[in-house]
């Protein structure tokens, strides 16, 4: 069984952090085992942040794929981190890349990619992609599952 004694958020009432910078991404140990690396996917189809100019909400479908090495990101802490963007004013590109970099900082994975599929602002959808490098050899990488913009449904 995984040791969860060091987790401060799982199983407890925790307020949503006021900003992504204040959010704590917690991790749990992971044993890779033999064979190709596992790919873990998190999908956040209702991601929101704020336009840094107008303060209006921006909406995105975020897909995070990563190949963990020795640690996994704990999912409740990830949910709290993602929710903390609701009060955060930043452009789409900054939000998407910040998500990837924070997870990399916390987990030190073998590989990570994040896709931010943003709903139109001013009639133009913006898609932002970031990854740490080439995917691991022999890892199965599924399609992100998000179609090119056609009303994002």
* Residues that are catalytic: 51, 58
Task: With CA atoms as reference, report the closest residue to 107 among 139, 143, 64, 138.
Answer: 64
Which parts are annotated binding residues for substrate? 73-75, 92-93
Taking only Cα atoms into account, the Rg of the chain, rounded to an integer number of angstroms, comes to 16
CB 139 within 8 A of CB 36: yes
Beta bridge partners of 61: 117
Decide: residue 122, CB within 10 A, 0-12 exposed, 13-18 middle, 19+ buried: exposed
96: left (phi over 0), alpha (psi -120 to 50) or beta: alpha
The span from the CA of 84 to the CA of 140, in Å, is: 31
Name which of 13, 10, 2, 15 is nearest 26 in CA terms: 10
Binding residue numbers: 73-75, 92-93
């Amino acid at each position: 069984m995984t040791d969860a004694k060091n987790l401060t958020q799982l199983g407890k009432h925790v307020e949503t952090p006021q900003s992504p910078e204040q959010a704590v991404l917690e991790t749990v140990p992971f044993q890779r085992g033999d064979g190709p690396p596992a790919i873990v996917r998190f999908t956040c189809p209702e991601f929101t942040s704020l336009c840094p100019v107008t303060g209006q909400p921006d909406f995105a479908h975020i897909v995070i794929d990563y190949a963990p090495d020795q640690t996994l990101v704990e999912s409740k802490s990830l949910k709290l981190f993602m929710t903390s963007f609701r009060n955060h004013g930043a452009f789409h590109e900054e939000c998407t890349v910040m998500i990837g970099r924070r997870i990399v900082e916390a987990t030190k994975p073998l590989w990570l990619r994040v896709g931010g599929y943003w709903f139109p602002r001013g009639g133009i959808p913006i898609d932002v992609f970031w990854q740490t490098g080439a995917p691991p050899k022999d890892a199965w990488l599924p399609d992100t599952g998000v179609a090119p913009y056609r009303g994002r449904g």
